[in-house]
Structure 1
Amino acid sequence: MKSLYKIVAVVGLSFMATSCFDKSKPNYQFFPNMYEAVPYETYSEHDVFKNGVEGQIPAEGSIKRGFVPYEIPNTTEGYALAKETLKSPLDSISVNPEKGKELFNIYCAICHGDKGDGKGNLVKREKFLGVPSYKDREITEGSIYHVITYGLNSMGSHANQLTQEERWQVTDYVLKLKSEL
């Protein structure tokens, strides 16, 4: 008998708890801005910030987290400086020859050839002429990185396509190709 009273009491309490809810008048909301935020369009001007977008602009001189600026200028003197002084920051554990080969085949082999001999598909089809073989050039890891970053002669910059670490991976692979020629 006691269990019957308990069952009736539980059913009665649950009925009372659910019968008080009215869908046309929902419960009170504390801190309604947390539930119903004011929508803003990304990168749009609005009066939250002074002068429109000013609060969204990065501070002058700020650098993206994890980015290391390349300080050597894009000049002949800068190329010579990079050739003499610039060394790879990658240690033997960070160097990944497979990744370097993959990136080289994607970005460089079309002109420089798979072996670095200057006989890529675009050279064979005479779209670009005078692409040098790595064997004929005095190159260092600094000069390779500098040329990948800024470009040289008809070669354009690859700084937008490759991160700094990827450029060093390609540099390591180019030196490997040079040693094999």
Structure 2
Amino acid sequence: MKGSTLAMNKNKVVLASFCILASAVIFSACKDKQSTGLEYARNMYDPIAYNPDQPNKNFKNGQTAQTPPANTAPVGFDKYDYPNTKDGYEAAGAALVNPVPATEQNLISGKHYFTVFCAPCHGEKGDGQGHLVKIEKISGIPSYHGDATSSRGGNMKDLSAGKIYHTIMYGLNNMGSHASQLSPEERWKVVMYVQQLQKIQ
């Protein structure tokens, strides 16, 4: 009986101590309205590294973001040397060759990317009759086959791989650039599929 009374008293002391401690923490937190309270792992909120727009005393010009050294390129960046001009278009058409192997899998991938990014305007068959053309009444989208002509001259069915790639890269007329949506390899896969559509009679 005496042991159980002693155990009950210990439990009451522990509970009372916990309540006093919790009350002290709560009241001390409410004391200063500007205080954010205790923070755990503050360095997770305030990184050691500089932000790009912060001043930085480690560089002569005092800026964190620096101009990259000459003749360097970001990791994974593929340089495209043909400007968005008529001459650039013609040069790309004459010089560029599709580096992606002509395999069944690459053609299937090209069809997928074409369906997602191109077919809404150009149509599933490349006939210029995509669902946006029908809904929005957009005109002037040529077919890749038949006698349709390009706004840059020549028949659409005769466009070279380089000219198709250049157009995907920069866009043309109402078509915007798809360089940010498709990687260089994906663009070449689309080119491969478009060249299949060019063969349709």
Q: Compute the TM-score of the two structures, normalised by the length of structure 2.
A: 0.64
Q: Which moved more, 1:95-104 or 1:133-142?
A: 95-104
Residue in 2 that maps onto 1:147: 167
Q: Indicate conservation of the 8 Å contact 1:97/1:172, yes or no.
A: yes
Aligned equivalent of 1:110, options 115, 120, 127: 120
Residue in 2 that maps onto 1:82: 92
Instruction: List runs of 5+ in structure 2 lacking aligned partners.
Output: 1-46, 149-155
Q: Indicate conservation of the 8 Å contact 2:102/2:192, yes or no.
A: no
SS at structure 1 position matched to 2:198: helix
1:131 paired with 2:133, answer no
- The two structures, once aligned, show a CA RMSD in angstroms of 2.4
* Equivalent AA in structure 2 for residue 156 of structure 1: G
Displacement of 1:142 in angstroms is: 1.0
1:156 paired with 2:156, answer no
Q: Indicate conservation of the 8 Å contact 1:114/1:120, yes or no.
A: yes
Displacement of 1:166 in angstroms is: 1.0
Residue deviations 1:51-81 (CA, integer Å, cap 9, x gap): 2225644223421234331111211122222
Instruction: List runs of 5+ in structure 1 lacking aligned partners.
Output: 1-37
Distance 1:65 1:40, change over 3 A: closer
1:92 and 1:113 mapped to 2: Cα distance?
Answer: 23
* Equivalent AA in structure 2 for residue 147 of structure 1: T
Q: Indicate conservation of the 8 Å contact 2:107/2:189, yes or no.
A: yes
Corresponding pairs, count: 145
Residue deviations 1:3-50 (CA, integer Å, cap 9, x gap): xxxxxxxxxxxxxxxxxxxxxxxxxxxxxxxxxxx8234323232333
Residue in 2 that maps onto 1:34: none
Residue deviations 1:82-139 (CA, integer Å, cap 9, x gap): 2223211122359612221111111101100011000001111244211000013221
2:95 and 2:83 mapped to 1: Cα distance?
Answer: 14
SS at structure 1 position matched to 2:116: helix
SS at structure 2 position matched to 1:129: coil
Q: Compute the TM-score of the two structures, normalised by the length of structure 1.
A: 0.70
1:165 paired with 2:165, answer no
What fraction of aligned residue pairs are identical, expressed as a percent? 44
2:84 and 2:94 mapped to 1: Cα distance?
Answer: 15
Distance 1:116 1:54, change over 3 A: same
Residue in 2 that maps onto 1:180: 200
